[in-house]
Amino acid sequence: MSAYKLLLLPGDGIGPEISAEAEKVIDFLGQAGVAKFEVERGLVGGSAYDAHGVAISEGDMALAQAADAVLLAAVGGPKWDGVPYDVRPEAGLLRLRKDLALFANLRPAICYPALADASSLKRELVDGLDIMIVRELTGGVYFGEPKEVVTLENGEKRAVDTQVYTTHEIERIGRVAFELARKRNNKVTSSEKANVMKSGHLWREVITALHKREYPDVKLEHMLADALGMQLVRWPKQFDVICTDNLFGDMLSDVASMLTGSLGMLPSASLGAADASGKRHAMYEPCHGSAPDIAGKGIANPIAMIGSLGMALRYSFDNAKAADAIDNAIAGVLAKGLRTIDIKGDAPTSISTAQMGDAIVAELKTILA
């Protein structure tokens, strides 16, 4: 078995704590002969700033370019609130996404049966929930130019972010959504603000044409992003695949995460386009951030991080056996009632980050025995 070249970027806050648990899984899968990894480590975010004065060094960017996949935990935190905008922790993450051309961000929101009571919604609304949010990740207002602050003649400041989408950018993310829907429940809900924004209007036009031309067999609906936010908490099981832009996708996936019990549950895959040799860059990361409020306490939920490793096995390494085993191990520990504090609900006690990692490895041992 050839080794998967993985660049691990623990980052900041709870990042190193949840990375340690993913490493336990990596080590176990290697020992069990199910997946062999060659792991390099690097710095991103505030930890890179402290070491090098930048949010990611050129050396670590080169490692990311050379890796089969990047596994990133989280960046950011109040410690770096005062650093210059261009080298703030989040700039490292955004550079990785842009330079590796990771335009397609897959954020699955799955409510494990054992967690239906941990959600902030009623059990019947979330039990069995399985939504895939497909978020465009390299365009829109995150990267549009101009992006600047200018001082006006009267001394006032004017800050500008630009929302831009081209036909090509919309079409390729739409294609990802339709292809995924065909393997799931065959429905795409495309979301924008076509009623207000030019880019939203083009988005709807391009998705409609793509659907008609290439995916008439998939059910397509359009929903304005504000209404979609409301529907997510009213009746989330109406959704299968949601296809949306960079900013709406960011917000809607945090909303969707609470349906599953906690933001600490949502993994993600950020995928690029395949080159002529079939190789494509990819980065895997939890949807949550560095959780400064609980960092250093050993209580963070490592499930989104371990689930992101599972997504790497599925989408980059074509190892469905290992990926399924991870998903089943997560479901298994939850079914046994093991809970970190964020998903505790009515459970009598909660366990630590390390105990959750150990429990998932123990469950994996049984599954793969």
**Least spacing, CB of residue 290 vs ligand NAD, in Å:** 4
Instruction: In whole angstroms, give the CA distance from residue 265 to residue 287.
Output: 8
Q: Is 80 known as a binding-site position?
A: yes
Q: Minimal distance in Å, beta carbon 294 to ligand NAD?
A: 4
- Degrees (nearest 5) of the Cα angle 121, 126, 131? 125
Q: Is 142 among the residues known to form the active site?
A: yes
Q: Is 139 annotated as a binding residue?
A: no
> Which one among 304, 306, 360, 364 touches ligand NAD, defined by CB under 6 A?
304
Distances in Å between the Cα of 241 and the Cα atoms of 138, 233, 257, 321 are 19, 16, 15, 24
CA pair distance 212, 308, nearest whole angstrom: 33
77 is in an annotated binding site: yes
* Per CB under 5 A, 285 contacts Mn ion: no
Measured in degrees and rounded to the nearest 5, phi and psi for residue 63 equal -65, -40
Q: Is 254 a catalytic residue?
A: yes
Closest CA to 20 of 73, 63, 70, 90: 73
What three-state secondary structure class fits 339?
coil
Give yes or no: 5 in active site: no
Candidate residues 60, 192, 245, 342; the one interacting with ligand NAD per rule CB under 6 A: 342
CB of 263 to Mn ion, least distance (A): 9
Residue 269 interacts with ligand NAD (CB under 6 A): yes or no = no
**250 labelled as ligand-binding?**
yes
Burial tier of 34 (Cβ tally within 10 Å: 0-12, 13-18, 19+):
middle
Q: How many other CB atoms are found less than 10 A from the CB of residue 273?
A: 12
CB of 214 to ligand IPM, least distance (A): 28
* Interaction of residue 301 with ligand NAD, rule CB under 6 A: yes
Of 115-123, 138-146, 244-252, 311-319, which segment contacts Mn ion by CB under 5 A? 244-252
Q: What residues line the site for ligand IPM (CB under 6 A)?
A: 76, 90, 93-94, 250, 287, 289
> Would you say 308 or 319 has its CB closer to ligand IPM?
308
Q: Which amino acid is at 151?
A: T
Consecutive H or E run containing 212: helix 198-214
Annotated ligand binding at 289? The verdict is yes
Tell me how far, at minimum, the Cβ of 337 lies from ligand IPM, in Å: 29
Q: Where are the beta strands (DSSP E) in 193-303?
A: 219-224, 241-244, 269-271, 282-284
Q: Is 315 a catalytic residue?
A: no
| Conformational region of residue 11, where left means phi above 0, alpha means psi within -120 to 50, and beta covers everything else | left
Please indicate if the annotation marks 343 as binding a ligand: no
> What SS3 string covers 274-325?
CCCCCCCCEEECCCCCCCCCCCCCCCCCCHHHHHHHHHHHHHCCCCHHHHHH
Q: Which stretch binds Mn ion (CB under 5 A): 116-124, 242-250, 304-312, 341-349?
A: 242-250
Annotated binding residue 295: yes
Among 67, 206, 300, 364, binds ligand NAD (CB under 6 A): 300
User: Rule CB under 6 A: is residue 290 a binding residue for ligand NAD?
Assistant: yes
Exactly one of 17, 250, 285, 342 binds Mn ion (CB under 5 A); that residue is 250
Residues contributing to the site for ligand NAD (CB under 6 A): 14, 74-77, 90, 93, 263-264, 285, 288-294, 300-301, 304, 342
Residues in contact with Mn ion by the rule CB under 5 A: 250
* Binding-site residue ranges for Mg(2+): 226, 250, 254
